[in-house]
Amino acid sequence: MNRHKFRDSKYSKNAKFISFLEKHDLECKYFYEGEMVCYSANCKRVKVINFIFNSRNINLLGEGSSFYKKYRTLRSEFRKVMGLLNECQFKDICPGFIIIPSKKTFKGNSINKTKETSFGFKVEKVNIESPEWIKNMERKYGIKYILKTKEGYLIGPEEIFFPLVRNLLKKEEIKTYTEIGAGSGELSHYILRKRKDTLLNINEISPHLKGHLKKYFSNFKDRVNYFLKDANKINFPKSNVIFCGIFYGELPELLDKKGKQIINALGNKGLLIIQSAMPENLFSLIILDPRIFPQIKYWPWYKKSYDLNLKFRFVKNIYLRGEILTLASQDKKIIDDTLNNISYKDLDIKNGN
């Protein structure tokens, strides 16, 4: 992504934009701009913009674990300023921002420590009326089910995991997988179908999906262990690979509460694969990998336990099929082997301090 000075851009002359900055006491000096292919918008190319906002209010996002909820509120307001009606609407521009503390900060009002969790979706079978990107996954990977939110949005399996799984399945020594936030269960089901000696640990918190998952995996009873509750409340079993596709805002808490268990479960050769961010929403990634913008650690809510680099010797962020994946391991070879012959790009926002 290319870096641009904010003061030289058209955005510095946008009254609504400037009003947003003034309202929240934010400063913007530069932004990153690039392009991505939006697969959920029929492979349309869209411009991605990440504005770097500096906050002079050290408590802008609160003092406790609710910081991501406050961030999402600000992001929704910002997207309206940029002309987007909701998070799932793509036009020619897909804007987002990373918000980090200024070196000069003052004390502000904190917000209540609350947690927001939503399970308002149901399982639907893939059919002739499903979007083309869903039907394409059906053809390529044999998926059968998708999720539909109460707002009517469709959520398919995380396609970015599947190419990596194909490489992992070639390694005979890798047999035990754990999927955190399994959703409709398509990734785990694919692994079980493709290799008969694999074992799956399936985690999902949504009460709407428990019955579906047990029915869907009924033919693999001897090869599946269920952990159908909050991932922060499970004891992580020994695994060769752990996939994590939960909501971005829940990733820091998971690493804080279960980081040591995850490290022990994977051992010296295991691999953690996280769907860590979207190109237009890098805030969650910066929290997990503060090497990119070290100032993120100045927030009062930031914990060292969020930092993957303090848990794993090797951490790699890649751009693949319109999303960001983070791979972490004590063993560089397992990361390299997993990415072999896959057309990915290294995330190119570096040294953003």
pLDDT in tens, 118-175: 555 688 899 888 888 888 899 999 999 988 877 777 788 888 899 999 999 999 999 9
Q: In the predicted model, is pLDDT for residue 116 greater than 80?
A: no
Classify 42 in phi/psi space as left (phi over 0), alpha (psi -120 to 50) or beta.
left
Q: What is the pLDDT of residues 242-264, one digit of tens each?
A: 999 998 999 999 999 999 999 99
Query: Which pLDDT belongs to residue 37?
Result: 61
Task: Report the run of H or E that residue 12 belongs to, with start and end.
Answer: none
Query: Which pLDDT belongs to residue 63?
Result: 77
Residue 215 to residue 54: CA distance in whole angstroms: 49
Q: In the predicted model, is pLDDT for residue 189 greater than 70?
A: yes
Q: What is the pLDDT of residues 207-241, one digit of tens each?
A: 889 999 999 999 999 999 999 999 999 999 999 99
User: Got the DSSP string for 34-45?
Assistant: EEEEEGGGTTEE
Strands 121-125 and 145-149, by their bridges, are: antiparallel
Task: Report the run of H or E that residue 7 belongs to, with start and end.
Answer: none
Strands 224-227 and 241-244, by their bridges, are: unpaired
56-60, 63-67, 144-148: lowest mean pLDDT where? 63-67
Residue 17 to residue 82: CA distance in whole angstroms: 8
Q: What is the pLDDT of residues 78-114, one digit of tens each?
A: 988 887 644 444 456 678 899 999 865 544 444 334 4
Task: Using CB atoms within 10 Å of the CB of residue 33, give its burial: 0 to 12 exposed, 13 to 18 middle, 19+ buried.
Answer: middle
Q: In the predicted model, is pLDDT for residue 350 greater than 60?
A: no
Q: In the predicted model, is pLDDT for residue 27 greater than 60?
A: yes
| 147, 155 contact by CB (below 8 A) | yes
Within 13 A of 136's CA, how many CA atoms are on the CB side?
10
Q: List C-alpha distances in Å: 186 to 18, 76, 111, 342, 343.
A: 44, 30, 38, 21, 22
Q: What is the pLDDT of residues 3-22, one digit of tens each?
A: 899 999 998 999 999 999 99
Mean pLDDT of 281-298: 92
Q: What value does the mean pLDDT of the chain take?
A: 87
- The one-letter amino acid at 5: K
Task: Using CB atoms within 10 Å of the CB of residue 317, give its burial: 0 to 12 exposed, 13 to 18 middle, 19+ buried.
Answer: buried
How many other C-beta atoms lie within 10 A of the C-beta of residue 85?
A: 9
Q: What is the pLDDT of residues 295-343, one digit of tens each?
A: 999 999 999 999 999 999 999 999 888 789 999 999 999 999 999 999 8
| 292, 301 contact by CB (below 8 A) | no
Q: What angle do CA 306, 2, 5 make, to 5 degrees?
A: 95
Per-residue pLDDT band for 281 (boundaries 50, 70, 90) equals confident
Within 13 A of 260's CA, how many CA atoms are on the CB side?
2
Query: Which pLDDT belongs to residue 120?
Result: 53
